[in-house]
Amino acid sequence: MLLGLHWANGERALIDELAASLARLQQNDGGWAQRDGFPSDAYATGETLYALHVAAGTPTSALAYQRGVSFLVNSQHEDGSWYVRSRSVKFQPYFESGFPYGNDQWISTAGTSWAAIALTLAVRE
């Protein structure tokens, strides 16, 4: 919703309010979760950091952003990817894409992408 409002040139006050609400959902480990009661993951954390930075103007030096970066760095696997557990009902035939994590490879691919984008934003020149 935050990104949508930004892309639609929504009211700044509403964007700021939503960004503050989203920032408050940061978990103790520094990451964000897909829904209440779920553990933090790279997909939710990367997308949230991107939204906070791009839509709300949160600097990558902000404590919340840096805590998110730490979560991503600490949860990255040796091959450079992140594992994200799928929550979808398995109704399509499985096929191997070559990305790790078997039945969770598709969401993990997207999560790895969001994590990489968020970390790229945090790189200082």
pLDDT at 46: 98
Provide long-range contacts, Cβ within 8 A and 24+ apart, for 63-70.
Answer: 64/23, 64/26, 65/122, 66/122, 67/26, 67/30, 68/26, 68/30, 68/31, 68/32, 68/118, 69/30, 69/118, 69/119, 69/122, 70/30
pLDDT at 84: 98
pLDDT at 125: 47
Q: Distance between CA 82 and CA 113 in Å, rounded?
A: 9
Prediction pTM value: 0.94
Low-confidence ranges of the chain (pLDDT < 50): 125
pLDDT at 92: 80
Which sequence spans correspond to the domains of the chain? 2-87+95-122
Short-list 11, 92, 100, 107, CA closest to 55: 11
The CATH label, of 1.50.10.20, 1.10.8.350, 3.20.20.150, 3.40.50.300, for the domain at 2-87+95-122 is: 1.50.10.20
